[in-house]
């Protein structure tokens, strides 16, 4: 049995109350709830009871939570945070790689890069930062929220300018290399988020 417009609205209201505004997850959760309710109605269960049973089943996944990996200050439905944590895993591994590289080079006091290679690395970092800024404007223009846009705003957009600033004001090559690699890694992470966000819009 297909749900009525009013019944569909009740499911939407439940998801709205839970703060599930990210379309990449919301659509999937909505489909699961609607399909389960339809199956239960076909077995003779009333819509109200079926809705109550299914919302209780999803309450744990949709309760508001946070994570240190994504950021304690960002509270979102648990299912959103869990997906965000998987996406951030790549970035975390890259930061670990950068820290290890920094550990190997921190004791090098002399210049080992040269002004030419230093400039090339800096210009490349600035270039992909500008690209990320353009990607962010495109994502915001669509006015569609996804987990990927959420991560882009919280873990990419505001971090890169700080890293580039640190890289330009510090003279020591090892520290410059550390901040530059971090900026490049976060920029590549942002490009990947943009690609996934655009893919969701095409579905």
- pTM metric for this prediction: 0.82
Per-residue pLDDT, 71? 79
- Residue range 56-99, pLDDT digits in tens: 999 999 999 998 888 788 899 999 999 999 888 877 777 777 66
Residue pointed to by tokens 């959103």: 80
Q: What is the C-alpha to C-alpha distance for residues 184 and 179, in angstroms, rounded to an integer?
A: 9
User: What is the residue extent of each domain of the chain?
Assistant: 5-62, 80-202
| Residues sharing a CB contact under 8 Å with residue 60, sequence separation 6 or more, in sequence order | 78
Interior/surface letters 13-35, b for 16+ CB within 10 angstroms, e for the rest: ebbeebebbbbbbbeebbeebbe
- Residue range 87-137, pLDDT digits in tens: 888 777 777 776 676 656 655 554 556 677 778 877 888 888 888 889 999
């Amino acid at each position: 049995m297909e749900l009525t417009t009013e019944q569909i609205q009740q499911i939407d209201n439940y998801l709205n109350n839970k703060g599930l505004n990210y379309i990449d997850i919301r659509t999937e959760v909505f489909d699961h709830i609607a399909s389960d309710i339809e199956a239960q109605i076909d077995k003779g269960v009333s819509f109200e009871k079926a809705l109550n049973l299914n919302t209780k089943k999803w309450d744990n996944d949709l309760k508001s939570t946070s994570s240190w990996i994504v950021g304690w200050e960002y509270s979102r439905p648990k299912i959103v945070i869990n997906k965000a944590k998987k996406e951030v895993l790549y970035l975390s591994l890259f930061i670990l790689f950068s820290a290890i590289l920094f550990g190997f080079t921190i004791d090098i006091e002399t210049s080992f890069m040269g002004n030419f290679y230093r400039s090339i690395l800096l210009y490349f970092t600035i270039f992909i930062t500008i690209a990320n800024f353009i990607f962010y404007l495109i994502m915001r223009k669509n006015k569609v929220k996804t987990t990927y846009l959420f991560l882009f705003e919280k873990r990419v957009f505001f971090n890169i300018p700080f890293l580039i600033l640190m890289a330009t004001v510090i003279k020591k090559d090892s520290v410059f290399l550390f901040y530059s690699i971090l900026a490049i890694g976060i920029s590549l992470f942002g490009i990947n988020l943009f690609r996934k966000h655009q893919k969701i819009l095409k579905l």
